Amino acid sequence: MLDVVIRGGEVVDGTGSARRQADVGILDGQVVQVGEVTDSARRTIDAEGKIVAPGFIDVHTHYDIQAFWDPLLSPSPLHGVTTVLGGNCGFSVAPIDSESSDYMMRTLARVEGMPLEALESGAPWDWKSTAEYLDALDGTLALNAGFMVGHTAIRRVVMGEDATTRFSTPDELEAMATLLRQGLRAGGMGFSTSRGRAHQDANGDAVPSRHASAEEFVALAAICRDYPGTSIEFIPHHSPFSDEDRDIALSMTVAAQRPINWNLIIANAANLDSDLLALELSDEAAARGGKIVALAIPMDVSGRLTFATGFALDMIPGWTKNMVKPAPEHV
């Protein structure tokens, strides 16, 4: 006897095959039959007129702190998401130390528009390593969740305030590599980083990862090669890629032998030429033995900006330092 049979739905299985009407049989938490299921089940779900599909995997989220006060990671489950990855853009919240925790809180508030008060009060911030952070969340979440090890986080721990002023030394790079290896051994899902021009910290400076040399990007990404199942997340300076971004991304995926996903293609007719140009990078990566995959926004793009959270406004020339001032000083 099966545990569950979902009957009469239109199955979209994620393989690229055409949708088809089929039953789905589940036993011991696994799909064991797809088609005409005649076995009886302890529970039967009538899915007539509905789509039956695997849960969606959202590889780009910033639930790292929300996870402490919202185990449902809302609103993702309402959209059919069953697995999320956090720690993107280099903005993981582990590893940290006593000084960098405040820096990372304020950076998340700036670049992701999160209320600083919620970040400060919504989590204990009593971990240091990636292992301690993951242990704090283990068994508490309704969704499957994994977290990247962020470039900005490890750079800030190793270099302190110098992380936003200069390239790393060989000793500093090795210290960052050690933190990344520790994080991946603890269960980190990969390495995330950013060169994105909109990524400024709470001081109005480019975030630490944006001050790294090409050699640093590649050396850290290459560590993922030793950890099966990991991946790399990369935010280019802008899209289409600059020549420098193309070289860095290609070198990272080839050195790591791991896939890179990057933000962001906006798929519409107005962006067709630039999108096709950006996607050429995927072909070039494949020819070199790597893999680069673009993420896309699956909806019309709209935004609401305020001077309180001026993330995108930071990209206007001359606005960055003014936008980090307290609101009454903006004018």
- On the question of a cis peptide bond just before residue 170, with omega within 30 degrees of 0, the verdict is no
Rounded (10°) CA dihedral 14, 19, 22, 26? 10
Tokens of 259: 């896939």
Q: What is the largest CA-CA distance in the chain?
A: 70
Strands 149-150 and 2-11: unpaired
Tokens of 67: 């996870």
Residue 257 region, left (φ>0) first, then alpha (ψ -120 to 50), else beta?
Answer: left
Show contacts of 305-311: CB within 8 Å, 24+ apart: 309/109, 309/110, 309/113, 311/110, 311/111, 311/112, 311/113, 311/198
Tens digits of pLDDT across the chain (331 residues) = 999 999 999 999 988 899 999 999 999 999 999 999 999 999 999 999 999 999 999 999 999 999 999 999 999 999 999 999 999 999 999 999 999 999 999 999 988 888 899 999 999 999 999 999 999 999 999 999 999 999 999 999 999 999 999 999 999 999 999 999 999 999 999 999 999 988 999 998 999 999 999 999 999 999 999 999 999 999 999 877 899 999 999 999 999 999 999 998 888 888 889 889 999 999 999 999 999 999 998 777 777 777 766 667 777 777 777 777 776 654 4
pLDDT in the model for residue 311: 67
